Amino acid sequence: MTNHAVRNDAARSDAARNAALPLDTTDTAIATAATASGTAAAATSVSRSTPRRSNPRRSILRPTIWLPVVVALLVAGVLWELIAINNTYLLPRLGMIGQAIITQPSFYLENAWITLSEALIGLVIGFVAAFIVAVIVTESGILRRAIMPLAVVLNVTPVVAIAPALVVAFGFGPAPKLIVTALITFFPILMNVITGLNSVSPPILQVFATLRASRLEVLTRLRLPSSLPYVFAALKVVFPLSIVGAVVAEFSAPGAAKGLGTVISVASSNSRLAVVYAAILCLAIMGAVLLFLVTLLEKRVLRWHESQLLKRG
Amino acid sequence: MSTTRANASPDQIVVSDALKIYGGSGSSAQVTALSHVDLTVDRGQFVSIIGPSGCGKSTLLRLIAGLETADSGDVSVFGADPDQACAAKMIGFVPQVPALLPWLSVVGNVTLPSKVNRRADALRRTLPGHVHRDPADPRALLAKIGLGDALDRLPHQLSGGMQQRVAIARAFAIQADVLLMDEPFSALDEFTREAIQLQLLELWEQMRTTVVFVTHSVSEAVVLSDRVVVMSARPGRIEAVVDIDLPRPRRQGLLESAAMHEYEDLIRGKLQTAWASGPVAR
């Protein structure tokens, strides 16, 4: 159990590093972080107000809730402009990014939709596969010893390195993108679900052992519901990660397909920085919205769980 | 797996000459948890097992519950072995912590045992020690134990005492032949504990289910039980068996009576001899 947990932590920090990498290299980290913290702050304000029976809208309107986010965004924007004004080849002016989007909004929408659908379909494939493997591995010791080493090898292999090979094998269609996204999301889900399935407390298992509940009953009635908090923890990591997977796969097949990754690689080879950053902004917004939706869903599904009680209390 | 044993009675729980050793054979870390323990519990009795920590009282309970098997000796639960007894849902187990499922309501937690292992009822009818009982109504049961207005709440909305009452109702709900309780009140404060003891008594007096109750509280053992089994440690063995001849139903007034204090002193004395003889007997 402890072994699982440790490896699980490793997997998560690994995933976090992967997720941070492409953003760091593009200098939008600050802007993205600001957007993300904005949604997070809004989310907590809603949850905090519910037990007091006060109108959640009213608390969002309180300056102490929205002002920090707005100020942070303004500061980030001003810093950006200060750098961009004198270094147009380092950063495009914010106005130029806005203009790039406004002049052809359908271009960005279309490409964002393609990247998003690649990411989500790949994520579903990775999720289903990881969940099935997690159940198999927790139910059978022999299969665990057979499968886990393979899964670990898969995890330490940089998926970015596999992407070009997949493009050679499967062409410029959606297949390599889905495979890369599925691969990149597989391991964090696997480790979290394994930990979750094993998180039923021993006294509960003893009560149901004296009732001779079947393994299937223990799985469906005890283990699966117990794993939900861990599933959501995994989803919060892999939703943004799935977009990373889709973009990386698009980088490997440049020019031949659509998608924001393709937009970025084509535009950067033409030194059109405003377009590059407009696409990056789209990716950041997509990631933040996905994260927000997962958090909302978690709040609905995990009403019973400690993590949600803490936030509410 | 034979149901006909020399010492298997359909109306008794019988533990005979049970031996349980933890730790690998031959290693110095071996602990004899139970050494040649004999115990008989009649149907309908409330029996408490008391003793210092490490005396094997929980191990004894777990042997009867089929959660562990004896290294030698025999355990039979109303004529069946513990494995069959569990398969037929004859055993209701109440652990030290409430062990409720946090995503299920109070009613959901109490009804869940009847939803798993549905073949148990058919199996139960074939066993020699079978006594027919109508299935309990979980809502009525919860109302009796004072949780009538908490039916749809989630466990985290309940106090510790209420949670443990739900766990007790859950054990009663399957109409088990025996309830095995492993220090169920040890985590509760004294006021809650005394209130919940009386509630358990009230429920038990209506249901008359056989109960084996592990505790380390002398007064708790005396208040609840028909018979108190005193155990001593290293090796775990039965030191004395004291029959508690106090009238039932036992109510608040009894708790202060002289007769009760006499029994408490008697058991404390036995526990002290058990404590003193423990390390020597090793």
pLDDT tens string B174-202: 888 899 999 999 888 888 888 898 889 98
A223: chain B residues, CB-CB within 8 Å: none
Question: What residue type is assigned to position A88 of the chain?
Answer: T
Position B16 in a domain: no
Q: Could you list the residue range(s) of the whole structural domain that residue A166 is in?
A: 2-23+102-300
Q: How many domains does chain A have?
A: 1
Residue A26 backbone phi and psi in degrees, to 5: -105, 5
Instruction: Enumerate residues 6+ apart whose C-beta is below 8 A from A271.
Output: A89
Mean pLDDT of A125-131: 95
What residues make up the domain containing B170? 43-66+79-281
pLDDT digits (tens, 9 = 90+) for A63-102: 888 888 899 999 999 999 998 888 877 888 888 889 888 9
Is B54 among the domain residues?
yes
Which residues 212-271 in chain A show a CB within 8 A of chain B?
Answer: 212-214, 217, 221-222, 225, 228
Task: Give the gap in angstroms from C-alpha A307 to the nearest C-alpha of chain B.
Answer: 12
Q: Answer whether residue A34 is part of any domain.
A: no
* Chain A residue closest in CA terms to B181: A207
* pLDDT given for residue B26 in this prediction: 61
CATH of the domain at A13: 1.10.3720.10
Probe site for chain B from A199, A204, A207, A301 (most B CB atoms < 10 A): A207
User: How many Cα atoms within 13 Å fall on the side-chain side of residue B271?
Assistant: 20
Question: Which residues in chain B touch residue A225, judged by CB atoms under 8 angstroms apart?
Answer: 101, 103
Task: Please enumerate in sequence order all residues whose Cβ is within 8 A of that of B59, keeping only pairs 6 or more positions apart, or say none.
Answer: B20, B33, B34, B68, B236
For A24-68, the pLDDT digits (tens) are: 333 333 333 333 333 333 333 334 434 444 455 556 778 888 888
Greatest mean pLDDT range, A172-176, A180-184, A247-251, B278-282: A180-184
pLDDT in tens, A264-277: 988 888 888 889 99
Check CB contact under 8 Å for B120 and A213.
no
% of residues, chain A, pLDDT over 70: 78
Tell me whether residue A238 is in a domain. yes
- Any idea how long chain B is? 282
Contact A221 B116 (CB under 8 A): yes
In a domain, A118, yes or no: yes
Over residues A213-245, the pLDDT tens digits come to 999 999 999 999 999 999 999 999 999 999 998
CATH of the domain at B200: 3.40.50.300
Cβ-based neighbours of A202, under 8 Å, separated by 6 or more: none
Q: What values do phi and psi take at B36, rounded to 5? A: 50, 60
Residue-level pLDDT at B230: 92
Residue A8 pLDDT exceeds 80: no
> Closest-CA residue in chain B for A302?
B103
Question: What is the DSSP pairing of strand B91-94 with strand B178-182?
Answer: parallel
Does residue B22 lie in a domain region? no
| Banded model confidence at residue B278, pLDDT cuts 50, 70, 90 | low
Q: How many CA atoms lie within 13 A of A227 on its CB side?
A: 24
